[in-house]
Amino acid sequence: MTARSLTRVRALLLGLGGIVLVGVAWDLYASFGPDAGVQLGGVLVLPRASATAMPSVGSMFGRLLDPVASGPGSPLLLTAVIQASLVTLGVAALGWVVGIVVGLALALLMQRFRTAESALLPWVILSQTVPLIALAPLVAGLISTARVGGQAPPLWVSVAIIASYLSFFPVSVGALRGLESPERAHVDLLRAYAVGWWPTIVRLRFPASVPYLLSSLRLAAANSVVGAVVAEVAIGMDGGIGRMMLSYAQSSSGDPAKAFGPIFGAIAVGLVSAGVVALLGAALGRYRRAEATA
Amino acid sequence: MNRSRRIALVAAVVATAALTVSGCSSSGTTSGSGGSASGGLTKVTLQLQWVAQAQFAGYYAAVDQGFYKKAGLDVTIKEAGTDTVPIQSVVKGQADYAISWVPKVLSSIEQGVNVTDVAQIFERSGTTQISMKDKGITSAADLEGKKVGSWGYGNQWELFAGMQKAGINTDSQISLVQQAFDMKGFLAGDIDAAQAMTYNEYAQVLETVNPATGKLYQPSELNVLNWNDEGTAMLQDAIWADAGRLQSDTAYQDTTTKFVKASIEGWVYARDNPQKAADIVTAAGSTLGTSHQLWMTNEVNKLIWPSTDGIGVIRAGQWKQTVSIAEKTKDNTGATIVTKAPPKSAYDNTYVKKALAQLKKEGVDTTGASFTPLTVELKEGGK
């Protein structure tokens, strides 16, 4: 085993160890902590450790292997969670891709024209100050009155648009920084050779922007997952992980472990999307001297 | 220099145009789906006030059993999200009808929304205030000095009216606790008397193991304050239609009668086949547990049946009581629902009476005088 792969194994073990440690800490507090929590001056400072408030880690995973409900044909909770996760992952991925396209287009526009940067950048930043709960019904309302071939578009279109609204921002800002990151001397050299704008972008600015882009893409992926989950809840889309959280929360006193199923699903969706960006990073490895922090 | 400036100007113009167009399309489109025929069926969209659950069993049953289709309607049911205001969907033309509580719509009407209650499906209120037996809360007056839970957001009015009717000063003589949408706060003792719908939160408590006995909580361990008995009940689930379209659009008037009639058939089906109705709702995408779903179907049936004047008829006395509470009751923020009585157009029995007459001719029992509820056994977690 080379030294490099050893470090990798070590990192993996440490990562797993960290997760186990959180689980053990949870279970220890759940079994030995006070059921009523700890109150200081009427304010709860330590959480309640009752089985309703903190089901054991074992029961959360065990619940995944039980059917969702008792009726005939009811799927395992795990199956239901995986199905819902795939729905949310699909919508979030769509939002992510749309966000990347829009973000890159804005970055190119702002890089090309200084005036466009002055005119657009404040709007780009302002756009992110609109709270999601104000935006979601607005987008849903606009989309549901639109007609494509006489039909209203399905709800997931609104969810994907909201996800893309959250994901275009880091891409546009990160890509703009990346496109403007080449050294002056390199830009001047290409200009001396009379290289046009687009070839300069392709040969110099894009490669230079990769380290910036990768961290923006990761942020964008996380944003679009959050956006998709929240938008599902806000506008009432059926089938995804956000909706599942909402409906399972109803049984959270009688069947507390069930509510954690969709939370695990959301974590899995987040991990998959981070993994996709990591793969992308590996593919773009030759442009990636060091990843810039966004 | 000049060139880039010109292009920037063009970009700015394009951006402005895009904003304007998207702004226009939101206000300009009022194409309701009702009236557009496809394959001989009239397309109708119904906006619910929450996600699919047995609270709406009748509408799902009417779709599943083909009652709407038989009436010439192709009905799409739209679930609500946390941000959905059902009545706004009707006003904006995104839906033809909406299900909503009367007091919530009364405040929208006062703000200028023009809608009509065309069928009062629930005759009774499902809102209660529940407490553990040892708190000794058997009437509204007993809430004095207690930690009283309230959801707010328009769900608090019967509670405030009930306490004020019992002579309690709701500003100083209770401690009001903001209640979450689960019953954990109640079970942990943060709340002495918690708001609970008979068909949902009350069941959630009965699906939870009582740590003291090791068995599920039993109805005998709880006190339930029912606002129907306390005299401060307000009208809940009703079918709302666009008042403007009702006035001018004869096709919509006709559709309304058909829609109300087929919806009533759905509710009659849910009364006579509660288990099947619960299964239909589950098949429509509700993720509630099986025993919880049946419980909800049964409790909702109790809110409808037996129906005094026939299901859907808006009874003047109950309407008056709802409006009077809406005008006079102040909640913890000092606000009332409305400042004056709503216009006459706020409810209209024309369509439901037509529907009931047709159903009577077909031999359908629309009062359910002999209705007897099931005894549903809840399982842990509602499974």
Tell me if chain B has a CB within 8 Å of the CB of A69: yes
Q: Are A210 and A288 in contact (CB under 8 A)?
A: yes
Among B195, B11, B50, residue whose Cα is nearest residue A113: B11
Q: Which residue of B has its CA nearest to A151?
A: B33
B285 touches A: beta carbon within 8 Å:
yes
Chain B contact set for A157 (CB, 8 A) = none
**Minimal-distance CA residue of chain B relative to A54:** B184
Q: Which of the four pLDDT bands, split at 50, 70 and 90, describes residue B15? A: very low
Determine the pLDDT at residue B23.
Answer: 38
- Averaged pLDDT, B138-157: 94
Q: How far B89 CA lies from chain A's nearest CA (Å)?
A: 8
Count Cα neighbours of B199 within 13 Å in the Cβ-side half-sphere. 24
The class (CATH top level) of A75-287 is mainly alpha
Report the residue of chain A nearest B288, measured CA to CA. A247
Closest CA to B287 of A251, A87, A235: A251
Domain spans in chain B, listed from the N-terminal domain onward = 37-123+234-382, 127-230
Partners of residue A109 in chain B, C-beta under 8 Å: 11
- Judge if ipTM > 0.90: no
pLDDT of residue A1: 56
For residue B36, what pLDDT is reported? 52
Q: What is the mean pLDDT of chain B?
A: 89
**For chain A, domain boundaries:** 75-287
Residue B353 confidence (pLDDT) above 70: yes
Say if the Cβ atoms of B208 and A52 lie within 8 Å: yes
pLDDT of B37 reads 54
Question: Sheet of B147-150: strands edge to edge?
Answer: B175-178, B147-150, B193-197, B127-132, B222-226
Q: By three-state DSSP, how is residue A189 classified?
A: helix
Establish whether domains B37-123+234-382 and B127-230 are of one fold.
yes
Rounded to two decimals, the pTM is: 0.84
Taking CB atoms and an 8 Å cutoff, what residues of chain A touch B94?
Answer: 141, 144-145, 152
Closest-CA residue of B relative to A37 is: B188
- In chain A, positions 235-254, which contact chain B (CB-CB < 8 Å)? 235-239, 243-244, 246-254
* pLDDT at B184 (0 to 100): 87
Residue of B nearest to A255 (CA): B381
Residue A39, beta-bridge partner list:
A44
Q: Mark yes or no for CB contact B379/A70 under 8 Å.
A: yes
- Asked if the Cβ–Cβ distance from A258 to B381 is below 8 Å, we say yes
Any A CB within 8 A of B24 CB: no
* Interatomic CA distance for residues A195 and B43, integer angstroms: 59
Q: What is the pLDDT of residue A82?
A: 95
The 10s digit of each residue's pLDDT in B257-308 is 999 999 999 999 999 999 999 999 999 988 888 899 999 999 999 999 999 9
Alpha carbon distance B294, B377 (integer Å): 9
pLDDT tens digits along B27-46? 333 344 444 555 689 999 99
For domain B37-123+234-382, the question of CATH label 3.40.190.10 is answered with: yes
The answer to whether residue A131 neighbours chain B at the CB level (below 8 Å) is: no
The tens place of each residue's pLDDT in chain A, 294 residues long, gives 577 778 888 989 999 999 999 999 999 998 888 887 888 877 878 888 887 888 899 999 999 998 887 777 788 999 999 999 999 999 999 999 999 999 999 999 999 998 888 888 899 888 888 888 788 888 888 887 787 777 778 889 999 999 999 999 999 999 999 999 999 999 999 999 999 999 999 999 999 999 999 999 999 999 999 999 999 988 888 889 998 988 888 778 888 889 899 999 999 999 999 999 999 988 887 876 665 555
Most B CBs within 10 Å, among A112, A251, A258, A260, to test the B interface: A251
User: Alpha-carbon dihedral of residues A94, A99, A104, A105, nearest 10 degrees?
Assistant: 100
Are A232 and B93 an interchain contact pair (Cβ–Cβ within 8 Å)?
no
Is the pLDDT at B1 greater than 50? The verdict is: no
Give the minimum alpha-carbon distance from B75 to chain A in angstroms, rounded to a whole number: 14
pLDDT value at residue B5: 47
- Do the beta carbons of residue B207 and residue B378 sit within 8 Å? yes
Question: What pLDDT score does A293 carry?
Answer: 53
| Rounded distance between C-alpha atoms, residue B158 and residue A134, angstroms | 29
Contact between chains at A253 and B282 (C-beta distance less than 8 A): no
**Residue A237 is encoded by which pair of tokens?**
């889309």
Tell me how far apart the alpha carbons of residues B376 and B237 are, in angstroms, rounded to a whole number: 23
Cis peptide, bond prior to residue A262, ω within 30 of zero: no
> Could you tell me which residues come within 8 angstroms of residue A106 by beta carbon, excluding any fewer than 6 positions away?
A120, A124, A168, A172, A176
B182/A249 CB distance under 8 A: yes
Q: Which CA distances in Å does B1 have to A95, A104, A111, A115?
A: 36, 24, 15, 10
SS3 call for A258: helix
Residue of B nearest to A244 (CA): B287
Quick check: A173 and A215 in contact, CB under 8 A? no
3-state secondary structure chain B: CHHHHHHHHHHHHHHHHHHHHHHHHHHHCCCCCCCCEECCEEEEEEECCCCCCHHHHHHHHHHHCCHHHHCCEEEEEECCCCCCCHHHHHHCCCCCEEEECHHHHHHHHHCCCCEEEEEECCCCCCEEEEEEHHHCCCCHHHHCCCEEEECCCCCCHHHHHHHHHCCCCCCCCCEEEECCCCCHHHHCCCCCEEEEECCCHHHHHHCCECCCCCCECCHHHEEEEEHHHHCCCCCCCEEEEEHHHHHHCHHHHHHHHHHHHHHHHHHHHHHHCHHHHHHHHHHCCCCCCHHHHHHHHHHHHHHHCCCCCCCECCCHHHHHHHHHHHHHCCCCCCCCCCCCCCCHHHECCHHHHHHHHHHHHCCCCCCCCCCCCCCCCCCHHHC
What distance in Å separates residue B93's CA from the closest CA in chain A? 7
Q: Verify whether the Cβ–Cβ distance A36 to B188 is below 8 Å.
A: yes
Nearest CA in chain B to A250: B182
Contact call for B79 and A238, based on CB within 8 A: yes
Burial A109-121 (b: 16+ CB within 10 A, else e): bbbbbebbbebbe
SS3 A43: strand
Q: How far apart are CA B383 and CA B366, in angstroms?
A: 32
- By DSSP bridging, strand B37-38 and strand B41-47 are antiparallel
- Our CA angle for A104, A109, A111, nearest 5°, is 90
CB-CB neighbors (< 8 A) of A139 in chain B = none
CA of B292 to nearest chain A CA: how many angstroms apart? 9
* Cross-chain CB nearest to B83 (options A69, A136, A253): A136
A104 — contact with chain B (CB < 8 Å)? no
Are B216 and B378 in contact by the 8 Å Cβ rule? The answer is yes
Q: Is the CB of residue A133 less than 8 Å away from at least one CB of chain B?
A: yes
Phi, psi angles (nearest 5°) of residue B152: 70, -155
pLDDT at A67 (0 to 100): 87
CATH 1.10.10.60 fits B127-230, yes or no: no
Nearest to B5 among A112, A115, A258 (CB): A115
CB distance B288–A250 less than 8 Å? yes
> Inter-chain contact B211–A50, Cβ cutoff 8 Å?
yes
